[in-house]
Amino acid sequence: MAFAEQLIAWYETNKRDLPWRNIRNPYFIWLSEVILQQTRVQQGLPYYLRFVETYPTVRALAAAEEKDVLRLWQGLGYYSRARNLLHTALLVVNEHQAEFPTTYKQLKKLKGIGDYTAAAIASFAFDEKVAVVDGNVFRVLARVFGVEDDISQAKSKKVFKEIAERELPNDKVAVYNQAIMEFGALYCKPVSPDCPNCIFLQTCVAAKTNRQTVLPVKNKKTIVKKRYFYYLLFEFEQKLLMHLRGEGDIWQGLYDFVLIEKNQQLLTPATEIIATAQTTQTEEIESEQATVEESHQEVANEKITEIGNEEVSNEEVSKEEIATENQPNAIANLIYPIFEQLNQQDLANFTGKLPIATPTDEKGLYLLRESPTYVHQLTHQTIYVQFWYLAVQNETLAQQLKTATQADFYTLPQVHDLPKPILIENFLKEIFGKLV
Ligand code: SF4
């Protein structure tokens, strides 16, 4: 039996029942494919359902505000995907009368839709004979056919694409494309593939030569960078000072607190893991990383991590993070002395009410809590985080803080509605419980 026939027969009896299966709506297919990039199926499923319910059409999504889309995306990581979703939805509505193009070539021309997503939409929704090549496909093809091209090299994408196209059946293209990805996710997994029960055991090159751990070849290793975040959460009259993150780093468009970033850990060693939004131990995540690295034209997931990796976490950069062009010394003059004062004291896990002096001599600043150091693990970054929760009981000082940081005070219900990194959300829940 041919490779495709075997796969399709396996798929018909082994596929998982998922809501994006057996649908022809290109909008829903696109949504599911973007959500599942860098994401496990079980993690992405509730997000897909929420998006379909909140934005049932591409017009509805295009009419949304970015902060609402980011809020719905919160916790899924790689937030550039959410921003790109909105961007592409606007393109589809404004330039294509809210109808997705119907061919692979046309779809690829849409900014934000890369090779993999275009092939998925074209084949699943419109039965076009075009092969999808994601990380699962790389893995299955590399092992079954003994392909040794390095999948971290862009030129290898062409090799795998050609093999995938060669194996495409004349009909049931959509089923075949879904089958090979499902097979890679369930059987031919990155670690511990289920070879003894595999339909390809007799013919698979990797199994016959015992090279399952070698194939696919991937020589480029992920570099994980360490960063050290020190957050100051200011509260004034039950409002919190929240800072909108700008371009050029992780979490663009999300809200956090006043941040000081250092190039080394200052205080207590890491004690707790609070969030691992983008862990890498599943086949879906691993597979999509490969896809993105190869294509360099999928959604900008990789870009955001590259930016993160290139960013030098030195003190000067950190000051720039929250300083403004008009007030370059504002952070240095007001926030840094407060931070240094907190930093110099041995306050690990402090709770209480400790007066803190301010450089403007305004009274009414109190430390209520200092957190232990947490570890927030992202795919390309390990972030060590510590929080200080401070009460401001002086209106002049509150205004000075707001001006210096160009942040705003928000009520708790408003904070609830803002898109936030998961580590910020978790700390707020620690302090305020269900209010946020
Ligand atoms: S025999 Fe093992 S390595 Fe080969 S395709 Fe099957 S699960 Fe993958």
How does pLDDT run across 158-176, given as a tens digit for each residue?
A: 999 999 999 999 999 999 9
Confidence of residue 319 (pLDDT cuts 50, 70, 90): very low
- Please choose from 188, 189, 217, 283 the residue to mutate so as to test ligand 1's pocket, defined by most ligand atoms within 8 A of CB: 188
Q: What is the dihedral of CA 174, 190, 112, 48, to 10 degrees?
A: 70
How does pLDDT run across 108-157, given as a tens digit for each residue?
A: 999 889 999 999 999 999 999 999 999 999 999 999 999 999 999 989 99
Predicted pLDDT of residue 326:
43
What are the chain's domains?
A: 3-208 (1.10.340.30), 225-435 (3.90.79.10)
Predicted pLDDT of residue 267:
60
- Please choose from 209, 212, 214 the residue to mutate so as to test ligand 1's pocket, defined by most ligand atoms within 8 A of CB: 212
Confidence of residue 199 (pLDDT cuts 50, 70, 90): very high
Predicted pLDDT of residue 143:
98
Predicted pLDDT of residue 47:
97
Instruction: Please give the mean pLDDT across all residues of the chain.
Output: 85
Q: Residue 63 phi/psi, 5° resolution? A: -85, -5
- Eight-class DSSP state of 220: P
C-alpha of 418 from chain center: 17
How does pLDDT run across 76-92, given as a tens digit for each residue?
A: 999 999 999 999 999 99
Predicted pLDDT of residue 316:
31
Pairing of strands 270-275, 351-355: unpaired
| Cα(296) to centroid(ligand 1), Å | 28
How does pLDDT run across 360-417, given as a tens digit for each residue?
A: 989 999 999 999 889 998 888 999 999 999 999 999 999 999 999 999 999 999 999 9
Stretch 301-328: mean pLDDT: 33
144 CB near ligand 1 (under 6 Å):
yes
| Cα(305) to centroid(ligand 1), Å | 31
Above 90 in pLDDT, residue 295?
A: no
- How far apart are alpha carbons 14 and 358 in whole angstroms? 65
In ligand 1, the atom with minimum distance to the C-alpha of 201 is 1
Predicted pLDDT of residue 286:
27
234 CB near ligand 1 (under 6 Å):
no
112 CB near ligand 1 (under 6 Å):
no
Above 90 in pLDDT, residue 251?
A: yes
204 CB near ligand 1 (under 6 Å):
yes
Stretch 235-243: mean pLDDT: 97
Using an 8 Å Cβ cutoff, are 84 and 60 in contact? Answer: no
Catalytic residues: 33
| Cα(157) to centroid(ligand 1), Å | 21
194 CB near ligand 1 (under 6 Å):
yes
Confidence of residue 272 (pLDDT cuts 50, 70, 90): very low
Cβ density class 115-151: b for 16+ within 10 Å, e for less: bbbbbbbbbbbbebebbbbbbbbbbbbbbbbebebeb
| Cα(188) to centroid(ligand 1), Å | 5
Predicted pLDDT of residue 1:
65
Confidence of residue 435 (pLDDT cuts 50, 70, 90): low
User: Among 124-133, 195-204, 221-230, 306-315, which is the least confidently predicted range?
Assistant: 306-315
Predicted pLDDT of residue 428:
96
Stretch 38-56: mean pLDDT: 95
Q: How many CA atoms lie within 13 A of 128 on its CB side?
A: 19
161 CB near ligand 1 (under 6 Å):
no
Whose alpha carbon is nearest atom 2 of ligand 1? 195
Stretch 179-193: mean pLDDT: 95
Above 80 in pLDDT, residue 330?
A: no
- Please choose from 139, 191, 197, 201 the residue to mutate so as to test ligand 1's pocket, defined by most ligand atoms within 8 A of CB: 201
Q: Residue 229 phi/psi, 5° resolution? A: -105, 135
In ligand 1, the atom with minimum distance to the C-alpha of 195 is 2
Stretch 242-255: mean pLDDT: 94
Above 70 in pLDDT, residue 311?
A: no
Stretch 21-29: mean pLDDT: 94
Stretch 421-433: mean pLDDT: 93
| Cα(50) to centroid(ligand 1), Å | 35
H or E segment to which residue 242 belongs? strand 239-244
| Cα(224) to centroid(ligand 1), Å | 30
In ligand 1, the atom with minimum distance to the C-alpha of 187 is 7
Stretch 256-270: mean pLDDT: 78
Confidence of residue 306 (pLDDT cuts 50, 70, 90): very low
Type of residue found at 184: G
Whose alpha carbon is nearest atom 8 of ligand 1? 188
Confidence of residue 11 (pLDDT cuts 50, 70, 90): very high
| Cα(218) to centroid(ligand 1), Å | 18
214 CB near ligand 1 (under 6 Å):
no
Predicted pLDDT of residue 322:
43
180 CB near ligand 1 (under 6 Å):
no
- Percentage of the chain beyond pLDDT 90 is 72
Above 90 in pLDDT, residue 314?
A: no
Tokens of 194: 């289920």
188 CB near ligand 1 (under 6 Å):
yes
Whole-number Cα distances in Å, 33 to 82, 140, 165, 270: 12, 19, 20, 36
